Amino acid sequence: MNHPLDSAPKRVTICEVGPRDGLQNEAVPISTEDKIRFCDLLSDAGVPILEATSFVSPKHVPQMADAGEVFRRIRKDAGRTYLVLVPNERGLDRAMEAGVRAIAVFTAASEAFAKANIRMSIDQSVDTFANVVKRAKADGMWVRGALSTAFGCPFQGDVPVTDVVRVCKRLLDLGVDELSVADTIGVGTPNQVFDIVDALRAVVPPEKLGLHFHDTRGTALANTLAALECGVRIYDTSAGGLGGCPFAPGATGNCATEDLVYLLHGMGIETGIDLAKLRAASRFIAGKLGRPLASRAYTALEAADTRTSRLAAVR
């Protein structure tokens, strides 16, 4: 019998964004030492791409002010990609000084969000990135183009699919190696995933398309399943479901890495990630944040382990 998910990939690449998308939005300051430890635990867990930090303006995002030191001191395993966000040439200079080999430039599908997040119009941001991408590629770097608010904008509301395609095309024309198309405020539903992925087929080869879901309204896994059905193989998630964007009112955490890994492994789809080691990374950062994590899989598996160890103690 044909299965609806026969077209789903057998292996998925997860880009772990907890240290950046997650920590940038936390009120509790996390020390440089603890950020480094968190990244190293995520490397231990086997994440193939780690978005470690961002070289943005410390005036706008104080939590990422120590990007240079964090990046220099995290362990870089062979075969993994350590990615950072770069908004302009100043960011690229700082990234190069720190030895970065993979960057993401980022703009938005809606003008209002681009203005709030990077204080540029979409056109201005693409102009700014032209030099950034050119210099990065000349240096042999891997470059990602990230697009915020593709599924809805906190200021504008609905975002036309044609705008998403138009800005993605402009990023691809700059020469980026991969796209990450984001539901920054977690408003998307699976029908939108089908529409957006379908419309993007005309401009981006499937192996270059990544999606970035937030679970603000509980639709992140449903959206991921829809995207798997479309053959999308790259997903951004955050350990424990950390996250949000300081410039997107009401935005909460990313799709949790544990939730997606649990779902994929259950479906026989490989990720290369060790779920127990991933939970160790999340447990570490939860302790530093002093709050419970949003991830359902993390919470359930931690509770099951506690029950088992209690039973063992009784015996």
Interaction site with ligand COA (CB under 6 A): 24, 54-61, 85, 87-88, 90-91, 94, 106, 117-119, 148, 245, 247
Cβ-based burial of 73 (10 A; exposed 0-12, middle 13-18, buried ≥19): middle
Tell me whether residue 55 or residue 71 sits nearer to ligand COA (CB atom). 55
Which of 39, 168, 230, 245 is an active site residue? 245
Select the binding partner of residue 87 from ligand COA, Zn ion, none (C-beta < 5 to 8 A, by kind): ligand COA
Per-residue DSSP letter, 253: P
Q: Give me 31's structure tokens.
A: 């020390």
Question: How large is the C-alpha radius of gyration of the chain?
Answer: 19
Answer whether 230's CB lies under 8 Å from 4's CB. no
Select the binding partner of residue 242 from ligand COA, Zn ion, none (C-beta < 5 to 8 A, by kind): none
Tell me whether residue 94 or residue 277 sits nearer to ligand COA (CB atom). 94
Q: Give me 240's structure tokens.
A: 């424990």
Q: Does 15 participate in catalysis according to the annotation?
A: no
* Residue 217 C-beta: closest distance to ligand COA, Å: 19
Select the binding partner of residue 145 from Zn ion, ligand COA, none (C-beta < 5 to 8 A, by kind): none
Unique residue bearing structure tokens 């996390």 = 30
Tell me whether residue 39 or residue 146 sits nearer to Zn ion (CB atom). 146
Tell me whether residue 43 or residue 117 sits nearer to Zn ion (CB atom). 117
| Positions that interact with Zn ion (CB under 5 A) | 21
- Residue number of the CB atom closest to Zn ion: 21
Select the binding partner of residue 221 from ligand COA, Zn ion, none (C-beta < 5 to 8 A, by kind): none
H or E segment to which residue 278 belongs = helix 275-289
* Residue 168 C-beta: closest distance to ligand COA, Å: 16
Report residue 140: phi and psi, to 5°: 85, 15
Answer whether 13's CB lies under 8 Å from 209's CB. no
Contacts of 41 (CB under 8 A, 6+ apart): 277, 280, 281, 284
Tell me whether residue 56 or residue 281 sits nearer to ligand COA (CB atom). 56
Alpha-carbon distance 198 to 89, whole Å? 33
Q: Give me 209's structure tokens.
A: 């398309």
* Residue 54 C-beta: closest distance to ligand COA, Å: 5
DSSP-assigned letters across all residues of 177-194: SEEEEEETTS---HHHHH
* Residue 13 C-beta: closest distance to ligand COA, Å: 20
Tell me whether residue 48 or residue 244 sits nearer to Zn ion (CB atom). 244
> End-to-end alpha-carbon separation of the chain, Å?
47
* Residue 288 C-beta: closest distance to ligand COA, Å: 21
* Residue 60 C-beta: closest distance to ligand COA, Å: 4
CA 19 vs CA 25, 48, 67, 260: distances in Å: 10, 14, 11, 17
Select the binding partner of residue 197 from ligand COA, Zn ion, none (C-beta < 5 to 8 A, by kind): none
Residues classed as catalytic = 245
